[in-house]
Amino acid sequence: MKQTNLAIVVPCYNEEAVLPSSATVLKKIMYDMIDHNQISSESKILFVNDGSKDKTWSLIQDLENEDTIFTGLKFSRNFGHQNALMAGMKVAGNYADAVITIDADLQDDENLIPQMVASFQEGNEVVLGVRNDRSSDSSFKRWTAETFYKLMNQIGVQLVPDHADFRLLGRRAVETLMSYHESNLFLRGIIPQLGYSSEKLYYQRKPRLAGETKYPLKKMISFALDGITSFSVAPIKAIMSLGVVVIVISLIMMIYALVRFFTGNVTNGWASLMTSLWFLGGVQLVGISIIGEYIGKIFAEVKHRPRYIIETDDYSETQSQSVDDQE
Ligand code: UDP
Ligand code: MG
């Protein structure tokens, strides 16, 4: 059987604090798998530098010089986690048989990697890492995540709860994924739509080794909103129901106002007028902003701008060189 050419894709944004130790851990796992003939010696660890402002890129270059198993991809600026994953998978998918994505802080259990590869070799095109326990997260993060999955489920978006971006995709799945051209990327929503035979492997999530989270609350909320609005029009439908409710309330208000008018107590009407005015104004603003959110998404999609810009691609360079060498 042909040995699997594996690529591990690691998105990195300001990860100088954690990169050296993560690199050592991943390298050991790779060499163990190479020694056991599970994967080919051409396999690579591909760091995607997502426009880091610290020494991340020079650290990646040092690693490349230290060992050819390391290679790097550099964006011209910050394009975000999901785009870094997409770029890494696209570039690696040109040569590798299977691509694993894992965060630079190694909060996901890297010891699952050999099992993921084994599962791929047994014929699974998609292997998802799923957390079976969130005790390392703050209770706030746990609560927001739980609410998010519940909400997504209710509005009809199929997600695998507690699966983030730790997964293996075979080359075929990567190619299929690349045919999703949306600029508003929410990978964990797209993956279940790919189909193919898949397996879930469970693990315990660890705390971050070093450095800080790159997902503060503000980014988390906008990521969640992206997830909802890229996959569901439920919010637009909700405005419709809200509108009906408001009309019913305003009819009741009208009857109330008329009754007050005929009983000759008109000055009282001011309160009801003001309340309905403000209430309706608020509802309309919410409605417009939700619709605006979708129009914004459409705007971003129709422009068809590149999802990311690659400044340096050492992975493809080394791969095409080794092809040249063989010729
Ligand atoms: N990341 C990235 N670009 C960004 C933000 C984050 O490539 O704009 C990377 C980051 O380096 C890490 C991964 O995405 O490898 C997940 O980020 P983090 O661990 O900070 O998120 P958390 O685990 O706290 O949700
Ligand atoms: Mg993390």
Check pLDDT > 80 for residue 207: no
What is the pLDDT at residue 204?
81
47 CA → ligand 1 middle, Å = 13
Can you tell me the mean pLDDT for 202-229?
78
Atom 19 of ligand 1: nearest residue by CA position: 213
Nearest C-alpha to atom 16 of ligand 1 is from which residue? Answer: 103
Q: In which band, very low, low, confident or very high, does the pLDDT at 317 lie, cut at 50, 70 and 90? A: confident
Span 300-308, average pLDDT? 83
Q: Which pair of structure tokens corresponds to residue 242?
A: 């809200």
CB neighbour list of residue 126: distance below 8 Å, 6 or more residues apart: 167, 168, 169, 170, 173, 191, 194, 196, 197, 198, 199
pLDDT band at 268; cut points 50, 70, 90: low
- Please report the pLDDT score of residue 77 as a whole number: 93
C-beta 104 within 6 A of ligand 1: yes
Q: Look at residue 270 in the predicted model and tell me its pLDDT.
A: 62
3-state secondary structure of 305: coil
Length, in residues, of the chain: 327
Residue 98 scores a pLDDT above 90: yes
**Cβ 18 vs Cβ 104: under 8 Å:** yes
For ligand 1, whether the C-beta of 16 sits within 6 Å is: no
* Residue 73, Cβ density class (10 Å: 0-12 exposed, 13-18 middle, ≥19 buried): buried
Instruction: Output 306 or 174, whichever has higher pLDDT.
Output: 174
pLDDT-based confidence at 248, cuts 50/70/90?
A: confident
Ligand 1 contact, 165 CB (< 6 A): no
- For residue 57, what pLDDT is reported? 94
Verify whether ligand 1 is closer than 6 Å to residue 125 (CB atom): no
Instruction: Tell me the domains of the chain and their CATH numbers.
Output: 6-231+305-326 (3.90.550.10)
- CB within 5 A of ion ligand 2: which residues? 103, 105, 107
Cβ-contact 142, 134 below 8 angstroms: yes
The CA-to-CA distance between both ends of the chain, in Å, stands at 23
When pLDDT is averaged across residues 68-88 and rounded to a whole number, the result is 93
Q: What confidence score (pLDDT) does residue 14 get?
A: 93
Q: What percent of the chain has pLDDT over 90?
A: 38
Amino acid identity for residue 54 in this structure: D
Q: What is the pLDDT of residue 48?
A: 96
Q: Which ligand 1 atom lies nearest to the CA of residue 13?
A: 11
Cβ 11 under 6 angstroms from ligand 1: yes
* 309 — pLDDT class (breaks 50, 70, 90): very high
